[in-house]
Amino acid sequence: MSDLLAGLPAAQRELLSVAPPGRELAARPMLAQLSDLRTFGDGWVFERKLDGVRALAVRESGGEARLFSRSGQDLGGTYPELVEALTAQPCADFTVDGEVVALWRGRTDFARLQQRMGLTDPRRARATGVAVTYYLFDLLALDGFRTTRLPLRARKSLLRRALTFGEPLRLTPHRNEGGQDLLDQACAWGWEGLIAKRAQGRYVPRRSPDWLKLKCSRGQEFVIGGFTEPSGSRTGFGALLLGYHAHGRLRYAGKVGTGYTEAVLRRLSARLGELACGRSPFADAVRERRAHWVRPELVAEVAFTEWTRDGMLRHPRFLGLREDKDPREVVREEPPRR
């Protein structure tokens, strides 16, 4: 046992256990619930909600680090500089959780990060010129021991001391107090929102009320099930047809026709062509003339103002593809009723 772990209080040392293989431990990350809660008592910490790609990193027995998406995809070729920085760590054995972002003028820029997403050739990834930063916020294993049963504060303290931080690796800062005022400040700074976490909570492999998403604006992932024909000078397609899973069916949520650059239209049109199919994947009737259907395998990040009474998106805007999300896990996100 390392000095860091040996220095934990006896009660916390008893919560440690032999870690399974890091790849297995990283396969089921903890996920946050959307929440409209704005008043918090003691026992919570607040982190910036980063607009990037979730990634878990594993290094074992001093070998080369590996980087995985939350759906299990190998991200080593997409972000080779992060793998190098993790492999160069003095700490030889760890599993960590965090978010990969592209920063632009101090803000996370998901559209900029899109230029790196999907690339698997390290040379092509570097050639984009898009610098990425890996914000680490949790520690799942250290020196062969599983740390997920430790309180969040203890895991954060171990993470801070176990790894060396400097570009492109950063430790995610947090505040010990928060609520509506802190969220208002975050929104004024152009952040996506906050993540509220129970300071004594464990790391569990599922979506949990111990982690809450507090968003500045509405937005979530949707499955792409089809597209419409372009009109006028538009190339590629007109709008994407979107849906979410509910009770084993893909429910139609409307279409999104804004937010695309010419380059995105070309790239996405090619992807859609590869997924073409002859029938609608939606359980609901889609009343769009000359609609084209695709296998529901792509996930889009979409911002919108609200849901209409008939369950459609109002004023949606395309933000980018989510290569790190399993389309089968996409559901309609609503704060739980209290």
Three-state secondary structure string covering 47-107 = EECCCCEEEEEEECCCCCCEEEECCCCECCCCCHHHHHHHHCCCCCCEEEEEEEECEECCE
What residues contact residue 50 under an 8 Å CB cut-off, 6+ apart?
A: 99, 101, 108, 135, 172, 192
Start and end residues for every CATH 3.30.470.30 domain found in the chain:
3-29+51-174
φ/ψ of 83, rounded to 5, equals -60, -45
pLDDT digits (tens, 9 = 90+) for 39-83: 898 999 999 999 899 999 999 999 999 999 998 999 999 999 999
Q: How many CB atoms lie within 10 A of CB 28?
A: 13
Phi-psi region of 232 (alpha: psi -120 to 50; beta: other; left: phi over 0): left
Do the bridges between strand 103-104 and strand 107-108 make them parallel or antiparallel, or are there none, so unpaired? antiparallel
CATH of domain 3-29+51-174: 3.30.470.30
Residue 1's pLDDT is: 74
Start and end residues for every CATH 2.40.50.140 domain found in the chain:
219-329
Q: Which of 135, 42, 142, 40 is nearest to 97 (CA)?
A: 135
| Domain 219-329 in this protein, CATH class | mainly beta
Contact 264, 112 (CB under 8 A): no
pLDDT digits (tens, 9 = 90+) for 172-224: 999 999 889 999 998 888 888 999 999 999 999 999 999 999 988 888 999 99
Residue 133's pLDDT is: 97
Q: Which of 209, 164, 288 is nearest to 30 (CA)?
A: 209
Sole residue written with tokens 């890996």? 134
Residue 192's pLDDT is: 85
Residue 137's pLDDT is: 98
Sheet holding 44-48, edge to edge: 31-34, 207-215, 193-198, 44-48, 174-175
Residue 324's pLDDT is: 83
What residues contact residue 299 under an 8 Å CB cut-off, 6+ apart?
A: 221, 222, 223, 224, 321, 322, 323, 325, 326, 327, 330
The token pair at 58 is 């594993």
Mean pLDDT of 288-317: 92
Query: What are the CA-CA distances from residue 248 to residues 33, 70, 162, 266, 282 (Å)?
Result: 20, 22, 43, 32, 11
Compute the mean pLDDT over every residue in the chain, rounded to the nearest whole number. Answer: 93
pLDDT for 285 beyond 60: yes
Residue 338's pLDDT is: 54
Q: Residue 104: pLDDT band by 50, 70, 90 thresholds?
A: confident
Mean pLDDT of 220-229: 96
Sole residue written with tokens 């898009």? 130
Sole residue written with tokens 């409209």? 36
Give catalytic status of residue 215 as yes or no: no
Residue 290's pLDDT is: 87
Contact 61, 93 (CB under 8 A): yes
pTM (2 decimals)? Answer: 0.81
What residues contact residue 53 under an 8 Å CB cut-off, 6+ apart?
A: 69, 75, 99, 100, 101, 113, 117, 322, 323, 324
Contact 118, 321 (CB under 8 A): yes
CA count, 13 A, side-chain hemisphere, 105: 2
The token pair at 68 is 């995985």
> Among 57-61, 223-227, 324-328, which stretch is predicted with the lowest mean pLDDT?
324-328
Q: Residue 168: pLDDT band by 50, 70, 90 thresholds?
A: very high
Mean pLDDT of 6-24: 94
Mean pLDDT of 81-110: 94
Residue 41's pLDDT is: 87
Q: How far apart are the first and last CA of the chain?
A: 43
